[in-house]
Amino acid sequence: MSFLAAVLVLSAVISFAPTAAPSKSNYPIAKPNCDDHCGNVSIPFPFGLTPDCSLNSDFFINCATSIDGSPTPLLGHGNLRVRRISIEGQLIVMKHIAKYCDEGNSPQDKSSWIRLSKQYVNQTANKFIAVGCSTTATVLGEDNGRSYQIGCIATCNRFQGVPNGTCSGIGCCQMNDIPIVTRNLNFKLETKATKTDGIITDCSYAFVVKKDEFHFSSDMLTQQWEVQRMPMVIDWVIFNDTCSNSGRTCQGNTTCVPFEGPDGGYRCACEKGYEGNPYLHPGCLDIDECADDGQNDCSSKNATCFNTLGGYNCTCKAGYIDDAKGGGCQLPIKYECKDNNGKGCHSSNRVNFVAMGVALGMIVLLITVFSLYWEHRRRKSVQMKEKFFRENGGLILQQRIVQGGASSSTTRIFTAQELEKATNNYDQTKIIGQGGFGIVYKGHLLDGQVVAVKRSKIMDTTQVEQFINENKDKASVLPWSTRLRIATETAEVLSYLHSAASPPIIHRDVKSVNILLDNDYTAKVSDFGASRLVPQDKTQLTTMVQGTFGYLDPEYMQTHHLTEKSDVYSFGVVLVELLTSKRAISFDGPELERNLSQHFLSLLKENKLFKILDGNILCQENITEELQEVALLAKRCLYFKGDDRPKMKEVAMELGGLRRATKHSWANNSETSIESQALVMKQSISLKDHLELPLSSRYGR
């Protein structure tokens, strides 16, 4: 071979030899001749610091100079500071917080908002926080006609006992997740600053923040918090386009991922086995899994790694063979077989060894398959139990028990084994009733308590929703006479608290959940934790707002003046619930129907009352006039001004008159019986004396 030929052959070998893929840190992130940093923030394409360096104007980053002279990246031409850009589709920006301090003529920056044109606020990576001692904070979101409003209340009356690291409502409250995909957010404060023990400041704060970047400290209540901005996560996408047109944006070795938003859009991502910037030519580059970074498992299989495009292969090392199980490589097995005479085994003996090996392998395989099957059954059973637990409100009940929302001494969650033991393994002799999807058994707990246990007839996933909703189905046929009696008895108790108790008592948290029913549907008013005593020389109290959304007196929320008419308004909402079997607040339907009392008053004004009444009670005869009278009474209770509302004594008398007119049996109306009922109520809360259900559970809530 001539010298020239040798050189040509050597050149060909070199040109076709595989080259090592560049490390991930060496991958370019910006277009050629474009800066890829603003200060210490990386700016990956499709973002850029000039129009030529970005995909389009939606991805322009303005590298401005801050007051201290340092470069600061701003989104577009606005003032939204960018802290980090993720090529996977997220931006972390620094957003102003809403802040208010009661300091005379100091600026009142009670609200903060964000308006995004081509990005979305991330639904799950953020949370809404309010900090303060008398603070009501709300966040409003809107996009393409869809809107929502959520909020929380933070209260405290002394510095001692304010827990660090948790936002449970004492000094700090929070709402996790953003309900809808939105580009517009507005969060604002409503606060009444009151000095308590001289330590707590008069400042309140509200903001949306990245979940893992805020930890509450009680120090925020004792001194002004100097933080002006908090990090928020927003999503970016290739806007107003679909994956069918992604070929001009998504480069080589990439895939298009559609974005589930109201305006569509998509993102580009590297295919498996590739990495880099999927938007930057020539696209994602092959990962060398055989490099010394632990991305392959060949060494554990006694094999050598060979890199391939988008993956790798493991080849057995010299002296090893494939183990025929697909799990790796092994050394060849040498068999030495001799008969009783010391001679080599006959072919029949070798066959026996092979047969024994095959049989042993089959046994091991069967045991493995059987074990995997039972493990699968066990996991599926556990998952199904957890699913039922969640769907039946178990997590919410558990959380309320832990946080004190339900009495820990009277509320328990039982295991399936405990219920089986209580019902003697669901003995047929203990059946006390049947429903469309379940059977009710009488049970006895170890402490002697008698309980009712409802069990599904058929363990069929298609029937889960019907079984869960059967309380609602049964409650919907609750006769009007019973509902009227519940309303009358509740009104009598509140009338006694306002007019006969000395000093008078304002309940302050009247709602359907706090009206308990025993086995005879006798109403008992519960939960006096928020109640206030009214001095004899006063008719109103000035307090921080406390109560439940949907039941709160709007005049009380504006003036902070608590009167007995605040209970009247809340009772009016309960009356509407009894008439309609609907929730006081619901986010399931149209926006105009989310607040029950407002929707009810709107239909009543349009003379469309029967459009909202429960259809099951409308089917009952000769009660149309009663329903109209109760509806008008509810309307009077819901007047905005407290002075225009009737007193609870008048409400109780009107409801009592309706009951007597319909010739239904009802309890003694004397003040003595009312006082006895109010006193019995404290005992009826405990499961030791009565098995009671909240009124709301009778209506499937």
Q: Answer for the pair 666, 488: CB distance below 8 angstroms, yes or no.
A: yes
Active-site residue, selected from the candidate residues 143, 235, 509, 553: 509
Burial class (CB in 10 A: 0-12, 13-18, 19+), 96: middle
How large is the C-alpha radius of gyration of the chain?
35
Burial class (CB in 10 A: 0-12, 13-18, 19+), 581: buried
Q: Answer for the pair 119, 234: CB distance below 8 angstroms, yes or no.
A: yes
Q: CA 305 from chain center: how many Å?
A: 45
Burial class (CB in 10 A: 0-12, 13-18, 19+), 229: middle
Q: Which two tokens stand for residue 131?
A: 């900090």
Q: Answer for the pair 545, 479: CB distance below 8 angstroms, yes or no.
A: no
CA distance 296 to 361: 29
Q: Which residues contact 470 (CB under 8 A, 6 or more apart)?
A: 435, 436, 437, 438
- Taken in order 538, 539, 545, 546, the sign of the CA dihedral is positive
Q: Phi-psi region for residue 391, left (φ > 0), alpha (ψ -120 to 50) or beta?
A: alpha
Q: Answer for the pair 455, 438: CB distance below 8 angstroms, yes or no.
A: yes
Q: Which residues contact 288 (CB under 8 A, 6 or more apart)?
A: 20, 21, 307
Burial class (CB in 10 A: 0-12, 13-18, 19+), 533: exposed
CA distance 135 to 221: 12
Let me know if 509 is a catalytic residue: yes
Q: CA 627 from chain center: how many Å?
A: 38
Which segments of 293-414 are extended strands (E)?
Answer: 303-308, 311-316, 321-322, 329-330
Q: Which two tokens stand for residue 415?
A: 């295991």
Torsion angle, alpha carbons of 598, 599, 601, 605, to 10: 130
CA distance 52 to 606: 59
CA distance 467 to 462: 10
* φ, ψ at 38 (rounded to 5°): -125, 105
CA distance 598 to 39: 53
CA distance 479 to 197: 52
CA distance 628 to 649: 20
CA distance 700 to 469: 6
**Which of 163, 167, 162, 221 is closest to 194 using CA atoms?**
221
Residue 357, number of CB atoms within 10 A of its CB: 10
Residue 186, number of CB atoms within 10 A of its CB: 16
Give the catalytic positions in this structure.
509
